[in-house]
Amino acid sequence: MYFRRHHSPVRGLRACGTLLAAAGLLMSACSPGSSGSTRTADVSLAALPRATPANLSAYYGQSLTWRECGVPGFECTTMKAPLNYEKPDAGDVKLAVARKKATGPGKRLGSLLVNPGGPGGSAIGYLQSYAALGYPAAVRARYDMVAVDPRGVARSEPVKCLDGKQMDAYTQTDVTPDDQAEKNELSAAFTKYAAGCETKSGEVLPHVSTVEAARDMDILRAALGDDKLNYVGASYGTFLGATYAGLYPERVGRLVLDGAMDPSLSAQDMNRDQTAGFETAFQSFAKDCVRRSDCPLGTGSVADAGKRLKAFFADLDRTPIPTGDPSGRKLGEALATTGVIAAMYDEGQWAQLRSALSSAIKNKDGAGLLALSDSYYERDSNGTYENLMAANAAVNCLDLPPSFKSPDDLKSALPSFEKASPVFGDGLAWAALNCTYWPVKATGEAHRIEAKGAAPIVVVGTTRDPATPYRWAQALAGQLDSGTLLTYEGDGHTAYGRGSDCIDSAINAYLVDGTPPKDGKRCS
């Protein structure tokens, strides 16, 4: 499951394992095409004791030393947390933190932590490139805007797995195997990736779970001098925020969970839902495309457009096309699919996708789709990959048992994935196999989050979100004891800051005045 990061001027979650995301699936919107039985967990996340354990008191009492960090207006620091909360004496992890102080006027309301999702997205990068500059002025005036890169992510002891050339090979691995040889190749790719992570990051790898990251946020809350945690999380960041609320309900301040996850689902059900979501997003794109005379997928029906795209992928599977890439990479099915999926996150990228598809289909030029894929993987022009995908796999594979126990186990579920998405189902099902080979056994399980006694928590869902199905927001809002559901009727991943005055006004009023929107409020 890949809970892709929140949109921003730089780039628009979680992956249950897909080469399309180098470690996961993209988050998806729910659709009537979602199939297969969905079972929700009965167990609920238990709150931790209110009193700080004596063996954690030094962490909670630490003093943060702030310094300039090369970006005007921002301060940075490093905080410590125990590598293993069960054995705090076993060593520390060092976590990078950044902030931009409240600008005024008005009384300061404390700190507002932000997280853009992933898992693996840099919260500091998001803060410095967007949140502390682009959030509404009324919010920035009253809060110190703060971000911590979660353990294993970006500046906080990042998980490392493969070098650039190895990642290039990994992202091109065929995830629609046609025979046993290709199945073996796919399994070998997952195995090599997992082994690389264990070799390069073996010490931190067992300790990058969402629960541990949420506990780190509570240490940061205390170190910042705040009695309550105020937080805006997008995509996977909603799972992180909801987990915090479940562990520390009495310390919940004003929490906004935008593009929500449903923590009660198994990995397989989550992947299947996401697969259906990409189908929903593609149908929205195709509906718009076929109305245009230059649509590269034709001007017929949406169903015909899907068949044309599927046929294009099949052609690339047989014969990749040139891209002009200096390293010699060609556009095969895997990279092309990633490029298409990357553009599903924001309808603002539909024009770019039409252009890229036109060049690839009509002119056999794969440069446009490769650029979309590289942006998704955070690969720069020098062939260097950021840490997003490595952290993504590490967190996902620790948070939930794998979708499938083996390739044979996957076969029985394949028809339900193909029904959920005729275009993407086959590839996303096979891509969900990556955690099967993970070197560290999962420590988490599917669970409900109720956070009984917490202050009101705003859960935001977008009806045609391609990465987090709308019904996930409905489910989370229903689980949370104090959850209130705010709905955006539209396309794209997440809602806050996408241009809906109705959504933005409701969230701003909650953050600034403490007044949550009426449960069930809908906006367009």
Which one, of 487, 498, 486, lies nearest residue 347 by Cα?
498
Tell me which residue has tokens 């046993």: 180
Taking the C-alpha atoms of residue 113 and residue 98, their distance in angstroms, rounded to an integer, is 10
What tokens appear for 102 in the block? 């409240």
Half-sphere exposure of 340 (CA within 13 A, CB side): 27
212: burial class by Cβ within 10 Å (0-12, 13-18, 19+)?
A: buried
CA distances from 287 to 275, 299, 301, 345, 464 (A): 18, 10, 8, 16, 13
The one catalytic residue in 226, 262, 493, 504 is: 493
Beta strand pairing call for 75-82 and 67-68? antiparallel
The one catalytic residue in 168, 262, 465, 504 is: 465
Beta strand pairing call for 110-115 and 143-148? parallel
Give the angle 233-234-239 at the CA atoms, nearest 5°: 70
Taking the C-alpha atoms of residue 307 and residue 316, their distance in angstroms, rounded to an integer, is 14
Q: For residue 191, what are the contacts with CB-CB under 8 A and spacing of at least 6? A: 437
Taking the C-alpha atoms of residue 515 and residue 524, their distance in angstroms, rounded to an integer, is 20
CA distances from 366 to 324, 332, 405 (A): 8, 9, 35
**Secondary structure element (H or E) that encloses residue 392, with its range:** helix 388-399
Q: Could you tell me how many residues make up the chain?
A: 524
Say whether 144 is catalytic.
no
**Other beta carbons less than 10 A from residue 136's beta carbon:** 15
Q: For residue 520, what are the contacts with CB-CB under 8 A and spacing of at least 6? A: 485, 487
Say whether 465 is catalytic.
yes
φ and ψ at residue 106, rounded to 5 degrees:
100, 160
Say whether 493 is catalytic.
yes
Taking the C-alpha atoms of residue 398 and residue 390, their distance in angstroms, rounded to an integer, is 13
Radius of gyration of the chain (CA): 22
What tokens appear for 465 in the block? 């979100």
Name the maximum alpha-carbon separation found in the chain: 69
- Confirm if 186 and 178 have CB atoms less than 8 A apart: no
The one catalytic residue in 235, 266, 373, 500 is: 235
- Summary count for the chain: helices (H), strands (E): 19, 10
- Confirm if 519 and 485 have CB atoms less than 8 A apart: yes
**Other beta carbons less than 10 A from residue 351's beta carbon:** 13
- Confirm if 475 and 264 have CB atoms less than 8 A apart: yes
**Secondary structure element (H or E) that encloses residue 212, with its range:** helix 210-224
Residues with catalytic roles: 235, 465, 493
